Amino acid sequence: MAILVTGSAGFIGSNLVRHLRRRWPDTDLISLDALTYAGHLASLRELEDDPGHLFVRGDITDRDLVRSLFEQHDITGVMHLAAESHVDRSIVEPLRFVQTNVVGTMVLLDEAQRAWERRDGVRFHHVSTDEVFGDLGPDGLFSESTPYRPHSPYAASKASSDHFVRSWYHTYGFPTVITNCTNNYGPFQYPEKLIPLTIARALAMRPVPLYGEGLNVRDWLYVEDHCDAIARVFEQGKLGETYCVGGQSETKNVDLVGMVLDEVDRMTGRDIGTGRGLVQFVADRPGHDRRYAMDISRIDSELGWQPSVPLPEGLRRTVEWYIANQDWCAEVTNEEHLRFEAGWYSDRGGA
């Protein structure tokens, strides 16, 4: 096989590429990433000399480039993760999100369909988000049958791309699968996101921002578990179907930040509770959904997937990684990225 992974230098993408090299050692991987602010080759450095991995810098909206990759490498599968994913940025630059998340997805679908018409075995896996479903409310779980109700330009662009992927299956018979996943966390996540930003600021003993009163609830999934789910759906998922992926670890943001701060205290030898004094509540962002949570019964019953890393263990691994990889953090960030003008941080666990 030859697999095209888009968004491969981002958080989930870079973790996925490493996961696939271990899982499918004989498969050629073609990584495509535009290397915007959240994508960095530093996240793929360990694969620099791997003959089974090729990195290509480019945009998924570049039809000529995408076509050439399919033709030159005889690609048999696409794992599509490339996306603009920062909610605050989507409020300021919504058209940019439409261009990448909608137009880019359509270019990939069109070129993958051309390849499928030339040969059998092509498969397209679109990686999406729980935000397409909107605000869950205090009870219940999102499932594959939940109506779409996006509340931000980011979520609307991802919802649109989901619909296009699904339409390619129903209109053309093109073999697609979709996963909608909840918040991810773990190594190589860009430090404007909630957990790595909390770690960085706690290490520097600087204020840790938290939207509103920190009562927004998210379901957190360790990124390696997500990579396993993506690969399993790609391998075994029923064509034309969608699978919800979640961590079964619902936590209020204020509690999550407290857990991270306590872990930083523990690993730096400070008195436990020192970091909690750094929390600073800031004005909430527009359209901030209160709660997300996923029903994973389908992917469990059909494919035998469940998360394997409990939240406390995943947070311990994550804090440990960021403390040990301060050089990576310095290389991929600067202060203007960490305090984006539309908000202090994003509580999304995306790319």
313 catalytic, yes or no? no
Distances (CA, A) of 233 to 90, 242, 304, 305, 339: 29, 9, 10, 9, 36
28 catalytic, yes or no? no
Phi, psi dihedral angles at 202 (to 5 degrees): -65, -40
User: Per-residue DSSP letters for 156-172?
Assistant: HHHHHHHHHHHHHHHHH
Element (H, E) at 316: helix 311-324
* Helical H segments across 141-237, by residue range: 153-172, 194-203, 223-236
Q: CB–CB of 306/243 below 8 Å?
A: no
Catalytic residue among 33, 130, 262, 347: 130
Strands 279-282 and 208-211, sheet pairing: parallel
Q: What 8-state DSSP symbol labels residue 79? A: E
Chain centroid to Cα 308, Å, comes to 18
Instruction: Provide CB contacts within 8 A for 143, sequence distance 6+.
Output: 244, 294, 295, 297, 298
Instruction: Provide CB contacts within 8 A for 114, sequence distance 6+.
Output: 67, 70
Cα atoms found within 13 Å of the Cα of residue 228, Cβ hemisphere only: 16
Tell which residue, 126, 128, 133, has the closest CA to residue 169.
Answer: 126
Name the one residue in this structure whose structure tokens are 């899982």: 23
Residue 49 identity (one-letter amino acid): D
Length of the chain: 351
Distances (CA, A) of 128 to 17, 62, 290, 330: 17, 21, 19, 29
Catalytic residue among 33, 59, 131, 347: 131
131 catalytic, yes or no? yes
Catalytic residue among 33, 59, 84, 154: 154
Distances (CA, A) of 163 to 8, 171, 175: 23, 12, 14
Active site residues: 130-131, 154
